[in-house]
Amino acid sequence: MPTKTFENLNEEKKKQIFNALLNEFSVYKLSESQVARIIKNCGIARGSFYKYFNDINDSYHYVLDTVLHEVHFDVFEQIKKENDNTLNAFYEATLKFINKIDNSKYRNFYKLYIEYNQYDLKQSNYDYHKLSKDNLILLVDGHPISDINKIISIYKFVTMAAHETIKAILMDADKEQSLSDLKIYLQVIKNGLID
């Protein structure tokens, strides 16, 4: 993450550096990105770059955190609002995220992130076991599922399906078909939960 020195820069300079980083990471995979191009694009010295960030990975995390903060949202709030079928909330959250990222200046950045960079960063999967019971909600046709292990398993599977749908769309698969496939996956899960 950025150093205190970076945080003390004026907003215009921070924006200039952010835009140069975003440009670099939207065109090149992290493994192919170069500090030389970044500093040239934002007009800073190499030494300044290393006063602002520990390394190129550190600068990448800064951009990733900024992008996710702008386009991501709390899916659990959406789940809590769903009164009938929690899986609908996952679909709506996925659709909302796709529409937000697909029509933003972050599309290419995020595309490279899901295609390559997430693997280079070796990020771990989200641990649903750490969620509070208040966030582990699963309703099917208005009926709650109470088995926490079943809920966590469903959340994991649905999250993987949502991420694959996002990836497919950003990799230029047919958007309507990909979303239709996700609906089918969710319907199959729902049908399997009805006792």
Residue 122 has pLDDT above 80, yes or no: no
Mean pLDDT of the chain: 94
CB 65 within 8 A of CB 25: no
Q: Which of 28, 164, 188, 184 is nearest to 98 (CA)?
A: 164
Least confident of 25-39, 114-128, 138-152: 114-128
Q: What percentage of residues in the chain have a pLDDT greater than 90?
A: 83
Q: How far apart are CA 155 and CA 162, in angstroms?
A: 10
More confident residue, 120 or 112: 112
In this prediction, residues 53-81 reach a mean pLDDT of 92
Residue 98 has pLDDT above 80, yes or no: yes
In this prediction, residues 75-101 reach a mean pLDDT of 92
Structure tokens at 62: 């800064």
Q: At 165, which amino acid appears?
A: T
**Largest Cα–Cα separation, the chain:** 64
> What's the pLDDT at 37?
98
Q: What percentage of residues in the chain have a pLDDT greater than 70?
A: 99
> What's the pLDDT at 142?
93
Cross-strand pairs, 139: 144
Q: How far apart are CA 97 and CA 66, in angstroms?
A: 15
In this prediction, residues 93-107 reach a mean pLDDT of 94
> What's the pLDDT at 195?
58
